Structure 1
Amino acid sequence: MKTFITEDFLLYNETAKELYYNFAKDLPIIDYHNHLNDAEILEDKNYSNLSEIWLAGDHYKWRAMRANGVEEAYITGEKDDYEKFLAWAKTVPNTFGNPLYHWTHLELLRYFNIDTVLDEASAPAIWKETKQKLATPALSVRSLLKKENVEFLGTTDDPTDDLENHQKMMDENYECKISPSFRPDNGLAIEKDEFISWVEKLARVGDSSIEKYDDFLDALAKRVDFFDEMGCRSSDHGINVMFYEEATHDETAAIFEKRFKGEKLTEVEIEQFKTYTLLTLGELYAGKGWAMQLHIGPLRNNNTRMFNKVGPDSGFDSIGDRMVADKLAKFLDALEVKEKLPKTILYSLNAKDFNVLAAMAGNFQNAEVPGKIQFGTAWWYNDTIDGMEDQMKTLANIGLISNFIGMLTDSRSFLSFSRHEYFRRILCNLLGSWVEEGKVPNSRALLEKYVRGICYENAKRYFCI
């Protein structure tokens, strides 16, 4: 069966087609948040097969396979790559309405020129053809980045990472800018068993001793300096539940000391530590001109049996429904009062908070940069046609979509850059529908400014690329 992805895929009116082909299609890509492996970029890796580049680590696909009754052995278990691919191929026809159906066939078409629908019958031929093509220089990691015209990548990195691969790519002046992003979640998670060992690792990489809270803050500040030297443009924070509990420096230092003595912390103390520490980091980010990304709202590791079997980030996280507005407002305001609020991007995993975040962003805008506080793109479970349209409509209703910094992949796969095409088509169709419905003027100059800005230029300016 031939693919359903035609030239005008997702473009349902003539204005949308004109906007996409004339202004969006060939723009460079700035992918400012993803989980790609910097070592594989450095070595210019060739993947062996579709399972290796497609299924390994992709909890989106894993969840779909489980929902289709696939045994875990074919997902994260002991079955070989071909068997796992066949299990995915059998699942694909059942994914109508899920973005995975579109993404799967976009990737087959764009990277392998395969215009066949993937199912159990077509799987053997597709496996053979893609395996042959993946072995060629044309589909090495760097070739994929070049093919997609990727100008900037923001990887996700722990403060204790040595960034050796980033340093080597800087030294070779690699044409695509590969930027580390500072993800200090482990340094805020004082309640976790691993916290003390992580602090000890932080001390080792900084060749220092951490005996008290000031030492800890100094060590974090040194890593911020180091990441900045390596070209970092943003931090990233996974926040399951938004926190804000005021504390003084001395109170936070006492909490840190209490934790190292092995004493149990109260919920209030945990929240005080997180608040004071992230506020301190926020001031550092502002000083560097970084953006601070806040990913708010996942409910993680819900299936205890499977967590114990396969570990975190394996497809057992879902959408939380805790309140966001009050504590987020206080957190942002605490930085703004001191004129230390960095550029900030607010993401919600729960679509109920779209209006909340779009409105919150408007509280803290200023002349520093257009759209300084961003209501970030539709994330994770919202990364669908409906989710993207809802996010953009909400932003337009409450803020200014013209200053939106657009799409990111948030992916672990080097085949995911076609999601930028997906987003661009959805954006152009939305704008085109507004034109044809008479909601906005049919001004090609103005529409071009919107499309080029949202797809590329706003992010380029925002991250100082």
Structure 2
Amino acid sequence: MSSTKFIHDNFLLENQYAEELYHNYSKSQPIIDYHNHLPPQFIAEDRAFSNMTEVWINGDHYKWRAMRTLGVNEDFITGKASDKDKFLKWAKTVPYTMRNPLYHWTHLELARYFGIYDLLNEKSAESIWEQTQEKLNKKDYSCRGLLKKVNAELVCTTEDPTDSLKYHQQLAKSDFSVKVSTAFRPDKAILISNDGYNDYMDTLGKVSGMAMDSFQDLCGALKNRIEYFHTNGCRLCDHGIDQIYFEDYTESEVNAIFKKKRQNKAITNEEALKFQSAVLVFLCETYHEYGWVQQFHLGALRNNNARMHRILGPDTGWDSIGDFTQAQKLSAFLNALDGKDKLTKTIIYNLNPADNEVMATMIGNFNDGSVKGKVQFGSGWWFLDQKDGMTKQLNALSNMGLISCFVGMLTDSRSFLSFPRHEYFRRILCNLLGDEIKRGELPKEEMEWIGKMVADISYFNAKEYFDF
């Protein structure tokens, strides 16, 4: 591809060392996307998409936030406007996203999936709509076809404990070459103060065959579902909580709190924290028993705009970075599990860049030599999965740990067109290392070793870390 195009072979690669690392060691590695929010039903049914709005804009709250900021009416975002009109509004927005990662992602995705290297804007929108429409009508642009195009080896979706996993079961029996697994996401069972908690308990009880009258019933129900998920190939969990909960509690206290909630009585904040701590500890001890990897996505302040949350619901673009205190509770929590030798492999994702060094040093406290990179500082996520955020995470991990043991990137996305984020990460990683080689901070004589490190971070470390 001509270097005159915005997206070209050496995009983001600023010298010959970066180019060599990317093209020789990283580019061809398969993708292990060990955490995303893709709908498994779409993959099982090999769903096709009618147009670019269906596959690219619907459900993408990154794009929605940008469009709202530009002053685009909600009708053209989540409202009743036609799919084509929504696409045209997005195309008009794209030039205004310069220096936001959306600008890079947009053009990488057009190039990698559709072979389109024109810049998306108002002038090119009609042509690009027609070009993508023609390709989306082809069989190899179905959900499975899109995953094959990016050399995906494994994708791991995220499911609630009450999920039947029927689509994962269908996929396990299919001839689809990409492995599709799941991650256990039990946050609804933990967050006792949430609206609808008792209704959720009723559902969990029905699925697990438990009465749900006591804390012991809850633990039994959760272990029942962990066993069910394990039998269906699950080997990891994920928690999307603001911070780690770790308060002193007794079993009798927690049982009384649970019964109080089941009677629809109000729960104090102190009671909620004790209960959440107890459930989290129980779950994590059980993950260790089953040999799973546990993931914690920490630091999001969710649903800030109460008015729009009422109108549109969660996950529609009203979340931001929180400034929670993380270190002490996280340390006590990991220490409690480690003290019982029940700390399983753990990945901690941080949303507040002010806490990068906190997380990078915390993981070193619990890497005990039993497993390579047992406790990981996860890649930059959500608001931080952009060039600056990923670079800061890589630097913090390098300065205070071993980047060579890092399990690399994931999409954390609901979009089937988001997988070039792996390429984006790999290019940023290779350029970071290539720049240090050029400056003499890393030895060019060790190019083969540095290349191996790049290949490991791109693929092999995750391949070794996750037991699928």
TM-score, normalising length: structure 1: 0.98
Aligned 1:22-41 pairs, distance under 5 A: 22-41=24-43
Match of 1:438 in 2: 440
Query: Is residue 235–residue 293 contact of structure 1 (8 Å, CA) maintained in 2?
Result: yes
Match of 1:112 in 2: 114
Match of 1:357 in 2: 359
Aligned 1:169-318 pairs, distance under 5 A: 169-172=171-174, 174-318=176-320
Match of 1:72 in 2: 74
For residue 156 of structure 1, give the secondary structure of its aligned residue in structure 2.
strand
For residue 374 of structure 1, give the secondary structure of its aligned residue in structure 2.
strand
CA distance in 2, matches of 1:391, 1:441: 22
CA distance in 1, matches of 2:188, 2:240: 10
CA distance in 2, matches of 1:212, 1:464: 34
Letter in 2 for 1:31: D
Match of 2:458 in 1: 455
CA distance in 2, matches of 1:174, 1:365: 37
Count of aligned pairs: 464
For residue 155 of structure 1, give the secondary structure of its aligned residue in structure 2.
strand
Query: Is residue 153–residue 179 contact of structure 2 (8 Å, CA) maintained in 1?
Result: yes
Query: Is residue 25–residue 454 contact of structure 2 (8 Å, CA) maintained in 1?
Result: yes
For residue 236 of structure 1, give the secondary structure of its aligned residue in structure 2.
strand
Query: Is residue 203–residue 209 contact of structure 1 (8 Å, CA) maintained in 2?
Result: yes
CA distance in 1, matches of 2:417, 2:213: 45
Letter in 2 for 1:38: P
Match of 1:10 in 2: 12
Deviation (angstroms), 1:25: 0.4
**Which of residues 418, 424, 433 in structure 2 aligns to 1:416?**
418
CA distance in 2, matches of 1:414, 1:253: 43
CA distance in 1, matches of 2:112, 2:50: 18
Letter in 2 for 1:440: L
CA distance in 1, matches of 2:261, 2:175: 44
**Which of residues 126, 129, 149 in structure 2 aligns to 1:127?**
129
Query: Is residue 244–residue 333 contact of structure 2 (8 Å, CA) maintained in 1?
Result: no
Deviation (angstroms), 1:309: 1.0
For residue 154 of structure 1, give the secondary structure of its aligned residue in structure 2.
strand
CA distance in 2, matches of 1:176, 1:229: 19
Deviation (angstroms), 1:175: 2.1
Letter in 2 for 1:381: F
Match of 2:100 in 1: 98
Letter in 2 for 1:449: K
For residue 238 of structure 2, give the secondary structure of its aligned residue in structure 1.
strand
Letter in 1 for 2:58: A
Deviation (angstroms), 1:174: 3.2
Deviation (angstroms), 1:209: 2.1
CA distance in 2, matches of 1:359, 1:348: 13
Letter in 2 for 1:18: E
Structure 1, 419-428 or 246-255: larger mean CA deviation: 246-255
Deviation (angstroms), 1:168: 1.1
For residue 158 of structure 2, give the secondary structure of its aligned residue in structure 1.
coil
Match of 1:388 in 2: 390
How high is the sequence identity, in percent, across the aligned residues? 50
Deviation (angstroms), 1:135: 1.2
Query: Is residue 238–residue 295 contact of structure 2 (8 Å, CA) maintained in 1?
Result: yes
Letter in 1 for 2:412: D
Match of 2:88 in 1: 86
For residue 117 of structure 2, give the secondary structure of its aligned residue in structure 1.
coil
Match of 1:150 in 2: 152
CA distance in 2, matches of 1:47, 1:314: 21
CA distance in 1, matches of 2:451, 2:131: 39
Unaligned runs of 5+ in 1: none
Query: Is residue 210–residue 220 contact of structure 2 (8 Å, CA) maintained in 1?
Result: no
Deviation (angstroms), 1:311: 0.9
For residue 206 of structure 2, give the secondary structure of its aligned residue in structure 1.
helix
CA distance in 2, matches of 1:378, 1:128: 35
Deviation (angstroms), 1:193: 2.0
CA distance in 1, matches of 2:343, 2:251: 19
For residue 305 of structure 1, give the secondary structure of its aligned residue in structure 2.
helix
CA distance in 2, matches of 1:228, 1:260: 29
CA distance in 1, matches of 2:72, 2:239: 33
Q: RMSD of the alignment, in Å?
A: 1.0
Letter in 2 for 1:158: D
* Alignment deviations for residues 95-151 of structure 1 (CA, whole Å, 9 cap, x no partner): 111110011011111111111100011101111110110110121111111121111
CA distance in 2, matches of 1:3, 1:57: 29
Query: Is residue 209–residue 221 contact of structure 2 (8 Å, CA) maintained in 1?
Result: no
Letter in 1 for 2:59: G
Deviation (angstroms), 1:3: 4.2
Letter in 2 for 1:70: V
CA distance in 2, matches of 1:173, 1:367: 39
Query: Is residue 3–residue 105 contact of structure 1 (8 Å, CA) maintained in 2?
Result: no
TM-score, normalising length: structure 2: 0.98
* Alignment deviations for residues 273-292 of structure 1 (CA, whole Å, 9 cap, x no partner): 11111111001111111111
Match of 1:328 in 2: 330
Deviation (angstroms), 1:376: 0.4
CA distance in 2, matches of 1:327, 1:316: 27
Letter in 2 for 1:426: I
CA, structure 1 residues 46+198, in 2 after alignment: closer, same or farther (shift >3 Å)?
A: same
Letter in 1 for 2:391: E
Match of 2:400 in 1: 398
Deviation (angstroms), 1:173: 5.1
CA distance in 1, matches of 2:252, 2:439: 59
For residue 346 of structure 2, give the secondary structure of its aligned residue in structure 1.
strand
Query: Is residue 244–residue 330 contact of structure 1 (8 Å, CA) maintained in 2?
Result: yes
Deviation (angstroms), 1:88: 0.5
Query: Is residue 360–residue 400 contact of structure 2 (8 Å, CA) maintained in 1?
Result: yes
* Alignment deviations for residues 20-73 of structure 1 (CA, whole Å, 9 cap, x no partner): 110100100000000001011111111111100111110000000011110111
CA distance in 2, matches of 1:330, 1:24: 38
